[in-house]
Structures are given as C-alpha cells and as structure tokens.
Chains A and B, each alone.
Chain A
C-alpha cells in the first residue's frame, strides 16, 4: 500500500503542489491572456493530475531499492519512467486545455506555448525525479521505523523471557519436596531440620535479591546453586553427587542473575530424579580469550523420554542470552551416552554487579 494514501498525508502532499499551480496560473494569465478563473481551473487540473501521476514513483522506488541495485539500472529505471510520465503529462495537459478552454483560446495558448513545449516537458521530468527522491526518503523513514519496531519487539521478547525465568525460579515441586524433607527431619534429626530451614531461607532470599539485579557475579550465582544442591542432597541422599570445576578467574565475571539455576534444576528434575541409583551433576566454568564458558552436565536416563523435557526452561535461557548479548552468546545442548550437557558461552564482562 502506498504510504501517502491516507487522508492527512495526501492533503499535505497536494499542498506542496499549490505554489506550482499558482505560478503556472499566473503565467497563463499574464502571457496566455486567459481570465483568472479559467487559468486557475486549467492549472489546478493539470497539476492535480500530475501530482497523482508522480505518486506512481513509489512503485519503481520499491522495486529498485537504493544500494541494492547498480547505479546504471537506477538511472535507467527512473529516467525512462520520468520521460514516459512527463510525456503523458504534456499530452494530458493539451487535452485538458482543449476540454476546458474555448476553441479560440485553446489555439491562442497553443501558439503561445508551443516554443516552450520542451521546457515544459523538462519541468515534468524534473518534477517526477523530485518525486522519486522524495519517495526514497519516505521509504527510508518507513524502513527505519519498521526496524525500530522490530528492535522493540525483540527487547520485549527478551524481557518477557527474563520475567518468565524469574517467576519460574521457585518451582513449587522443589518447595513442597523440601518442606516434606524438613517435616521428616524434625523428629529424627532436629539439628538437620533446622539447618535445612536455614538453607531454604537463604536460597529464597538470594533468589529474590538476585532476581532484581541486572547482572551478578558468577560467584553469587554459584553460591545460590550451592544452597539449591545442598537442599536437594538432603532429599536425594547419596543419589545426588555434585562435582565442581570452577576456574578462579571466572568467578568475578558478570552474568544475568538466575541464568544457571533453571539449568541445574532441570539437571536434578529430569536427570537425577529419574535414576534409581542417582548420578552426578557437574558445574564447570572457565574464562578464555575474553569469553566465559559455563558447562552444566548431568547423568540422565537415556531410555526415559522425560529427560528431553524441560525444554521450556532451556528455551527461556536461550532467549535471555539472545536478548542480552544477541549474536555474542551461544548455547549448545547435547547428549553423550548417559550424559546431558548444556554449554553456554558469553562475553567475559567484569565489574561490579549492577542493579
């Protein structure tokens, strides 16, 4: 759809043609000897017609976007269009004069302006080319507005993913199961029950606190994971084993808060919980060549299809990374025998954690 074909824009566009019509009406009166009324009617008719003809420049402009086609082709397209359109205009101008004026006046005008026919034709060509330039500006404006809308949409999606990720932090399953463990411990091992209450409280407090920040140090996230895994260890006992390989330099690097927590939760829920004899969760991080790589790996039951679930959590992590780092980050998910592995790579940023 032509961008000018709305009531407001079309009005403004036609307004721009008024000076041209007024000038030519003046010329028709002073040099053509027409009355004001007839001169105005003729000038308005001719330029109104041309104003609409020039709107057609939008189509060749769309078809030959700047910078994407060769200059020669650009020139050829618009010049040939200009010649055609201007020719059509001069012919239509003559026809309109014939229709509006009496035969004597028409003859008079024709003799008067015949020597200027070439100039009029050239003016038509130039006006059309002006319209081409104008349309290119219009298209560029539309494009940039479109790009902006897309960027906004991408940001909204990323933000959405962030919110979803944060909301999903405290999984009700986790909470109920932990409470059940605590309730079991109260009679057999009250000290342990208290310890677990404290772990759970710390975990919840950290989740709330970290979730409000924009970025946190990896060490802060690891402290959260430590609480989480300590709680799950009470529940799963010897079935849950944890290995850590954290490079010291990586600890101070910044990551989005609660990025790893859903991955570790998946590792427990879809990995360890499905194995009667349990398994190992391995968390590793490393900083190399300006990139931070983090690996979360867990044993899983290769025969159970439920290991492939948790796709929503993975999708959210991916969206958050994309929203924040765009193409600067990557996330790989693969399985290797009975190991399920998620590898993240993001730019190594250091500094203080940010609100």
Chain B
C-alpha cells in the first residue's frame, strides 16, 4: 500500500504510439498516478526504469527486440506490472497461472480501473520471476531463441546459437559467448529448462554446454572427464553428465 497523498509513479511501455495514447487517456481521471515517461521499446524502458524507479509499469508484451517479459527480466521483479496484450493465448495463460494482472486490447475503462485498483492494493508485492512467466508463455515445444543480459546499463542479446556454455556461480550464471562472459541473475536449472535439450546438455552440476562446441572428451581422474570446446575451454564432466552427453551424441549418429 502506498501512503495517502503520495503519488504513484508510472511508466507506459508500448511500441505503438496510439496504444500509449489510450493508457495516457485512461489515466487522466487518476490524478494520483503520475506518468514519468513513455517508452517505445524495451531498451528505453530499461533505461527509464533505472532513471526513475517507478512504482507501476504498463507493459506491452509484443514489442520488437525485447518483449515485455525480457523487460521484466532486466528490471527485476520489485515493481507492479500490468501487462498489455492484443491476443496471445499463451501469454494470457501465463498471466492467469501466475495471477499477474493484464489488459487486453482494445482496453475498456472498467477493466482498466479494476486492474489499477488491484495494482494499488498489491503495490510493493513482488512479481513472479520473469523467466517463469516467459516460460509459461512460450508455446509448447518451443525453446529460448536468445538470452537477455544486462551488463550495468548495457543490454546484450545473445542468440542461443552463440552461447558456448553456461557456468553456475551462486545465484548467477555466467554465459560464455564469443570469448566474453556475461553474468545473468538466474539459476542454472532455470536456464537449462529454457534451452533446447537437443543442443544443450547439463554436463555437470554447474555446467551446461552447447553440443556444437564440444570437440572431444578426455578422461580426467577417476570417474570424471573433461570436455574440450572449440575455443579451448576445458569443462568438467560428471559421471551423470557424461551419460547424458553420450546418449545425445548416440542419438545424433
């Protein structure tokens, strides 16, 4: 709950000017909501968020480059979000599963008021983790196409084909791609769930490798092995990991 008299500071994020217009107009009768900025894409949204630290975001799901889920992933979950979508059965299901509020285009006044009311009541509550939402919104049998990482204020998109391997580091995963490492706040199990199991293998408690990058496997000590990658990186392979790797390679033959 916000203290009475304190304004709710909001962001509007949609790539369509007219869609932002509708939200702005619907908010006119709510002087308690202050519009800090309007953003036409995810990059602008991430930047505006860092700048203004808003309480509430109206966030379009379908946007170029960065989707609404990507934006949520970048800005963290300590903010109220009302998602906006035209028609996307999977996104709608994801919202329902995670009890997140969403508005369908075209947006009606009544529905808008209800969502705003609910957002006010629940202000300060955490949103569900973005990658869980995104996973639930992916059509079945579809996997991540790219990973979104924030390095300070810079946003990097890594197509999964360019991911060499991922390494667990406490609450983070280090994503190795084209000679660089990017830290992302996610568990390795969460990452593994989004990657296509035909191309990525969990070779160790702390490592996922892109199968395309594996040049050879060498024995290393008792029961364990090393995977040598095209760029020369050497990753430990556990016994269970080796079994998984072998099964996948046999399948490919």
- Which residues on A are within 8 Å of B, measured CB to CB? 172-173, 176-177, 179-185, 187-188, 234-237, 273-276, 301, 303-306
Contact = CB atoms under 8 A, between A and B. Distances in A.
Given A172-B87, A177-B105, A305 B19 contact: no
Contact of A301 (B17, B21, B64, B106): B64
Given A176-B106, A274-B65, 16 more contacts: A176-B104, A176-B105, A177-B86, A179-B105, A179-B106, A180-B19, A180-B105, A182-B106, A184-B18, A184-B21, A235-B16, A273-B64, A303-B157, A304-B65, A305-B145, A306-B145
A172 B15 CA distance: 19
A177 B19 CA distance: 9
Nearest to B14: A180
Interface string B97-110: 00000001111000
Contacts of A274: 64-65
B22 interface: yes
A307 to B, nearest CB: 11
A234 B105 CA distance: 16
Contacts of A181: 16, 18-19
Given A276-B15, A305-B146, A180 B65 contact: no
Contacts of B65: 274, 276, 301, 304
B186 interface: no
Interface string B1-40: 0000000000000011111011001000000000000001
A108 to B, nearest CB: 75
A188 B21 contact: yes
B159 A236 contact: no
A304 B41 CA distance: 15
B62 interface: yes
19 contacts: A179-B106, A180-B18, A180-B22, A180-B86, A181-B19, A182-B106, A184-B18, A184-B21, A184-B25, A185-B18, A235-B16, A236-B16, A273-B15, A273-B62, A276-B43, A303-B146, A303-B159, A304-B64, A306-B145
Contacts of B107: 180, 183
A183 B106 contact: yes
Contacts of B157: 303
A77 B87 CA distance: 69
Contacts of A182: 106
Interface of B: 15-19, 21-22, 25, 40-41, 43, 62, 64-65, 86-87, 104-107, 145-146, 157, 159
B157 to A, nearest CB: 7
A12 B64 CA distance: 71
Contacts of B145: 304-306
Nearest to A172: B87
Contact of A276 (B41, B86, B105): B41
Contacts of A183: 22, 106-107
A178 to B, nearest CB: 9
A187 B22 CA distance: 9
B61 to A, nearest CB: 12
B16 A187 contact: no
Nearest to A272: B64
Contact of B19 (A172, A184, A303): A184
Contacts of A179: 105-106
A277 to B, nearest CB: 9
Contacts of B40: 276
B106 A180 contact: yes
A234 B25 CA distance: 18
Nearest to A177: B86
A98 B157 CA distance: 93
Contacts of B41: 276
A265 to B, nearest CB: 14
Nearest to A187: B25
Contacts of B159: 303, 305
Contacts of A304: 64-65, 145-146
Nearest to A239: B15
Nearest to A235: B16
A147 B96 CA distance: 52
Contacts of A306: 145
Contacts of B25: 184, 187-188
A306 to B, nearest CB: 7
Nearest to A192: B18
B106 to A, nearest CB: 4
Nearest to A182: B106
Nearest to B25: A187
Nearest to A183: B106
Contacts of B105: 176-177, 179-180
A187 B29 CA distance: 14
A30 B41 CA distance: 106
A236 B63 CA distance: 12
